[in-house]
Amino acid sequence: MAKTADKTAEIIENAEFPTVDVSKATDQFSAVVEKSVEQSKEALSKLTTGAETTQKALESTFETAKTASNELSLKTIAALRANAEASFSHLEALVAVKSPSEFIELQTAFLRKQVEKTVEQGKEFQAAATKAAEDVSKPIKDVYEKAMKDLKVA
């Protein structure tokens, strides 16, 4: 055992431990912290820019939706007014009918005209609604596409 203790003491005496240069470690730590702070500032800047862009797109979307809604409402009111006027005109014509055959002829012509007008109004309303949907979704779609493009670049 004495031999082992002597050998251990000799190893401990001859062992060299590396010296730690505290100033280098501090410099390295400071460099890592500075880089992390810089990256955080850059990420925050990108996030802020993205949030501002999204906010502008949402404001534009809401404004466009409001305008489109007003246009669709006006189209609907115009269609309802035209149909009501046609119905009142038809009613006035029915009052003056002298025979059942004249009544049937007048009623058939009115119904045919109303069906054609309804189909035309439906097409106009569908076109206006499609345009409104495209206009409303465009700002958000543009922001999304830009974000995806920027993500692919990064």
Q: Is residue 81 part of a domain?
A: yes
For residue 16, give the H/E element and its range. none
Q: What is the mean pLDDT of the chain?
A: 85
Q: Is residue 20 part of a domain?
A: no
DSSP 99: S
3-state class of 101 per DSSP?
A: helix
Per-residue pLDDT, averaged over 100-123, amounts to: 94
Residue 17: pLDDT over 80: no
Say what percent of the chain tops pLDDT 70: 84
pTM for this model (two decimals): 0.61
Q: Is residue 36 part of a domain?
A: no
Query: How many other C-beta atoms lie within 10 A of the C-beta of residue 153?
Result: 6
Total structural domains in the chain? 1
pLDDT tens digits, one per residue of 67-111: 989 999 999 999 999 999 999 999 999 899 999 999 999 999 999
Q: Is residue 131 part of a domain?
A: yes
Lowest-confidence segment of 20-24, 57-61, 104-108, 142-146 by average pLDDT: 20-24
Q: Is residue 97 part of a domain?
A: yes
Q: Is residue 7 part of a domain?
A: no
H-only helix segments in 96-153? 100-153
Q: How far is residue 97's CA from residue 147's CA, in Å, rounded to a whole number?
A: 68
Q: Is residue 10 part of a domain?
A: no
Identify the domain containing residue 145 by its residue range: 53-154
